[in-house]
Each structure stands twice: as structure tokens, then as C-alpha cells.
Amino acid sequence: MRRFIKTTILAVAALIGMTAMIAHAQPRTISECSQKLTARGFNIIDKENDDGLYEFEAIKNNQQWDIKMDYKCNVLLERLDD
């Protein structure tokens, strides 16, 4: 009986841990990433999902920017558009 209780507790703990990892690894939507840029002062004028990245064209301080983000909303490229 005691062994059954320990095994059950360990199984439940493992399932909770695996669920947290799966939820953490889920990609964010392009809208969520867009909101993150908007919060930084960018005005998004175009966005698309291309080559496994989110690509944005945005304006900030009267300058046009190209921004690329991964599916976790990490900025990979942020440069002024010439």
C-alpha cells in the first residue's frame, strides 16, 4: 500500500512537470509578438509568417524598421529599413 502511494505521487509529479514543459514550449501567435513590439513603441504596418519566422515592418520615431522574431517572440533581427 505504501509503495502504491509513493508510485502514485511520483507519477502525478512527473505528469505535472511534463505538462509545464509542453506549455512552455508552445509557440506564440504573430499577434502576441506584434503586441510586444507595439508595447516597445513600434507601429506595425505589415506582418507575415515566412521561413519559420515572424517578419514585421514597423515605424518608430519616423523611421521604418525591419524586425524578425522567432515563434517565442524573441527578436532575432531589428534594423532600420534603407
What was the pLDDT predicted at 62?
Answer: 95
pLDDT tens sequence across 34-78: 999 999 999 999 999 988 999 999 999 999 999 999 999 999 999
Q: What is the DSSP letter of 27?
A: P
Is residue 18's pLDDT more than 80? Answer: no
Indicate whether this model's pTM tops 0.75. no
Coil, strand or helix: which one is 82?
coil
Looking at the chain, which runs of residues are DSSP E strands?
A: 43-50, 53-60, 63-69, 75-80
List the domain range (segments joined by +) for residue 37: 2-80
Count of domains forming the chain = 1
Query: What's the rounded Cα separation, in Å, for the pair 80 and 73?
Result: 19
**Using an 8 Å Cβ cutoff, are 59 and 43 in contact?**
yes
Interatomic CA distance for residues 23 and 21, integer angstroms: 5
